Structure 1
């Protein structure tokens, strides 16, 4: 019985270790012109609805003050270039990838450069 409990614990520990290795973290510089994007009715919903639709993105956080996205993703399903392009398709710059002009035009005026 002790061996079975030990083997079960070992199996779950290995599974957890493998699962943790499948997630990478990246910090992506963006451009935000307002100070309330996460709380903004349309922009906040845009992030919530579409960031997690980028294949492989598991979780993200937007730091409005630092203008940075911290993205947690599965490197087996995506890479940084695809994530940057996904953010650009939302209308925001992502490191050296410029915002998609059509998506940018759809943003609220508060999120556009004055």
Structure 2
């Protein structure tokens, strides 16, 4: 009886360990955006917004903005957030994030040179 319980617990532990390794907590995503000026990263308003607000999006650990490719590379904890929530957070900052369009409130908070011209 003790051997059966021990074997059951051993199998349970090994299978749980195997499944937990399959779910990576650290993820990387490249998100396409549109920058409407050539200095958003250095802009007093937008550059500071990137430095402070991007890391306030729940689960975001680090990000890189590539001005030339117009992409955000975001490193995030998949246990705390998902890609859709990150895109919505970026849209609230005033920038498109793939298919998620920038919110009007976010756009209004940008400097005039950085606002979308629609």
TM-score (norm 1): 0.79
> Structure 2 CA distance, aligned partners of 1:46 and 1:24?
23
Q: For structure 2, which runs of at least 5 residues remain unmatched after alignment?
A: 1-20
Q: For structure 1, which runs of at least 5 residues remain unmatched after alignment?
A: 1-17
Q: 1:87 aligns with which of 90, 102, 106?
A: 90
> Structure 2 CA distance, aligned partners of 1:48 and 1:64?
15
Deviation at 1:103, TM superposition (A): 1.2
Counterpart residue number, 1:73? 76
Can you list the C-alpha shifts for 1:38-88, whole angstroms capped at 9, x where unaligned?
Answer: 111110001111000000000000001111000000000000000000000
Q: 2:104 aligns with which of 92, 101, 108?
A: 101
Write out the 4+ residue segments of structure 1 that deviate beyond 6 Å after TM superposition: none
Higher CA-based Rg: 2
TM-score (norm 2): 0.77
How many residues align? The count is: 95
